[in-house]
Amino acid sequence: MLNDYTYAKNPKSHIYYCSKKNKGCKARVKLDRNGIIINKAEDSTHFHPPPKYYQTSSGEYIKLSS
Ligand SMILES: [Zn+2]
């Protein structure tokens, strides 16, 4: 989770794609080998608002709406 958006990791690379990638969102985050974000600004633009999550007292995230 980053900036209220959720990402899914590409298993073959260090690139995390927006969880709405399959809906056409092109936003992605690339990490270097140290886990530092090396993202370009044009790669981080979502065409949708961030999903609403609620964090429970145990630290879990619950999705409120899609
Ligand atoms: Zn997105």
User: pLDDT digit string (tens) for 4-31?
Assistant: 788 888 888 889 999 899 899 999 999 8
Does the pLDDT at position 32 exceed 70? yes
CA of 51 to the centre of ligand 1 (A): 9
Q: How far is the CA of 30 from the centre of ligand 1 (A)?
A: 14
Domain count, the chain: 1
Cα of 8 from ligand 1 centre, angstroms: 11
Residue 28 is part of which domain span?
Answer: 7-65
Is 1 inside a domain boundary?
no
CA atoms within 13 A on the CB side of 28: 13
Whole-number pLDDT of residue 25: 92
Q: For residue 66, what pLDDT is reported?
A: 54
Say if 2 falls within a structural domain: no
How many angstroms does the Cα of residue 6 sit away from the middle of ligand 1? Answer: 8
Asked if residue 17 is part of any domain, the answer here is: yes
pLDDT at residue 56, rounded to an integer: 80
44 inside domain: yes
Identify each DSSP E strand in 1-66 by its residue range.
7-9, 15-18, 28-30, 52-55, 61-65
Residue 26 covered by a domain: yes
Quick one: which of 8, 11, 55 has its CA closest to 27? 8
Residue 57 CA to ligand 1 center (angstroms) comes to: 26
